[in-house]
C-alpha cells in the first residue's frame, strides 16, 4: 500500500527548494523538517493485507479496501563540525519500495556538494501475506523487512544533479509462498534475496517561481525465487510552481518491471508496467507561522500485468502540516 505514497517525499524536497534553509553549510545543533499527514487510502491489490485473508480463487478480482492512517515524515541533521553532520530521516520508495528509516553521516565538500553514507536498519517492517497464493483458507500475516547501506552524492561537483546508490537484503519472517504446490514451485516463489538500487536525479530551478525535478532509477531484485527476481526501470517527473505563498506540484511516474523466469503457478513470465499521477498544494506560513506549511495531496497509482492476479489500483488523499527549523 505504501508504494502509492512514495512521491510524498517530493513535498519536503519542494519546501527545501523554495526555502533559505536549503544550504550546503552545516547548521550547529539540530535542524531539519518534520511533517505529519493524515492519509486516506483505497486499494484493490491481492498482495495487500488490507484485503480479505481468504481467496476463493486466484482468478477473482480484488475488492476496494479503504484505510485511514497518519503518515509521519522527517529529515533531521545534527551538526557536529562546520562541514559534518549526522542525519536521521524517513523516506518512501528507494531500494525498499516502501516506507523506511535511514541514518548516517554527511560530509559537505568545498564545491557545494555533499557525500552521505548511511544504513537502512529495517526497524519499520511491512506486513505481507506468508503465502499470497493460498485459497480457501485464511492467509496469515507476516513481516517483511529491508536492511542495507546507502551512499548519497548530492549536488555532484556543485551542480543540481544527485546520485544515490544502495544495496541490501529483503527478509520475510515466515516465507510460505506456494505451500499448496510442489517444492519446486515453492523454491521459485521465495521473496527473500539481495537488492541493488541506483538513482540519478536533478532539481532544475528555471526561475525563482518555477522548477522541474526529474529522477531515473534502477532496481536489481535478486530474489532467491527465480520467478520473483526482476529488474525495474523507472522515471519520475515533477513540476512545481510558486504563486505568492502557494506551491503547486504536479507529478507523474512510470516504471517497467521485467522478470527472469516463468511463474510456476500461472505458467508465464510476469511482465508489469506501472504509472502514477499526483497533485499537491502547499500553503506556506499558515496562520502566519513562519516556518510551517500546510499540505494537501491527491495521488493515483496503477500497475498492469499480463497476470491478472498482480494487477492493482491505488488512490491516496492526504492533508498535513510540515515544520522546518
pLDDT digits (tens, 9 = 90+) for 272-311: 999 999 999 999 999 999 899 999 999 999 999 999 999 9
Look at residue 161 and tell me whether its pLDDT is greater than 70: yes
pTM over 0.85: yes
Look at residue 223 and tell me whether its pLDDT is greater than 80: yes
Task: Say what percent of the chain tops pLDDT 70.
Answer: 92
Which among 247, 251, 215 has a CA at the least distance from the CA of 322? 247
Look at residue 22 and tell me whether its pLDDT is greater than 70: no
CA end-to-end distance (rounded Å), the chain:
31
Whole-number pLDDT of residue 25 = 62
Answer with the residue of higher pLDDT: 318 or 124: 318
* Mean pLDDT value across the chain: 89
CA distance 93 to 83: 28
Whole-number pLDDT of residue 93 = 74
Arithmetic mean of pLDDT, 144-156: 94
Q: What cell does 173 get?
A: 519472517
CA distance 213 to 160: 10
Look at residue 7 and tell me whether its pLDDT is greater than 50: no
Whole-number pLDDT of residue 55 = 92
Q: Is 81 exposed, middle or buried (0-12, 13-18, 19+ CB in 10 A)?
A: exposed
Amino acid at each position: 500500500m505504501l508504494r502509492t505514497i512514495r512521491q510524498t517525499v517530493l513535498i519536503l524536497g519542494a519546501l527545501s527548494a523554495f526555502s533559505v534553509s536549503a544550504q550546503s553549510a552545516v547548521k550547529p545543533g539540530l535542524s531539519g523538517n518534520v511533517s505529519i499527514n493524515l492519509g486516506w487510502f483505497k486499494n484493490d491489490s491481492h498482495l495487500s493485507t488490507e484485503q480479505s485473508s481468504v481467496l476463493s480463487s486466484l482468478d477473482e478480482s480484488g475488492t476496494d479496501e479503504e484505510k485511514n492512517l497518519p503518515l509521519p515524515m522527517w529529515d533531521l541533521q545534527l551538526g557536529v563540525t562546520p562541514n559534518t553532520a549526522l542525519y536521521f530521516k524517513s523516506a518512501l520508495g528507494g531500494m525498499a519500495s516502501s516506507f523506511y528509516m535511514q541514518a548516517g553521516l554527511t560530509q559537505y565538500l568545498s564545491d557545494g556538494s555533499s557525500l552521505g553514507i548511511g544504513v537502512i536498519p529495517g526497524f519499520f517492517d511491512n506486513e505481507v501475506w506468508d503465502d499470497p497464493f493460498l485459497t480457501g483458507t485464511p492467509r496469515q500475516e507476516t513481516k517483511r523487512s529491508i536492511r542495507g547501506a546507502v551512499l548519497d552524492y548530492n549536488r555532484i561537483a556543485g551542480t543540481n544533479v544527485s546520485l544515490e546508490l544502495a544495496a541490501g537484503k529483503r527478509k520475510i519472517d515466515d516465507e510460505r509462498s506456494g505451500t499448496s504446490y510442489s517444492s519446486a514451485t515453492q523454491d521459485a516463489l521465495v521473496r527473500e534475496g539481495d537488492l541493488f538500487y541506483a538513482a540519478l536525479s536533478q532539481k532544475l530551478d528555471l526561475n525563482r517561481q518555477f522548477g522541474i525535478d526529474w529522477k531515473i532509477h534502477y532496481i536489481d531484485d535478486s530474489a532467491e525465487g527465480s520467478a520473483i527476481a526482476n529488474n525495474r526501470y523507472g522515471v519520475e517527473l515533477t513540476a512545481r510552481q510558486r504563486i505568492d505563498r502557494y506551491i503547486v506540484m504536479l507529478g507523474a511516474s512510470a516504471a517497467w518491471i521485467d522478470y527472469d523466469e516463468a511463474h510456476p503457478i500461472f505458467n508465464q513470465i510476469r511482465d508489469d508496467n506501472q504509472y502514477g499521477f499526483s497533485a499537491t498544494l502547499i500553503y506556506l506560513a499558515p496562520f502566519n507561522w513562519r516556518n510551517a506549511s500546510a499540505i494537501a495531496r491527491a495521488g493515483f497509482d496503477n500497475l498492469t500485468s499480463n497476470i491478472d492476479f498482480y494487477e492493482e489500483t491505488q488512490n491516496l488523499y492526504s492533508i498535513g502540516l510540515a515544520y522546518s527549523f
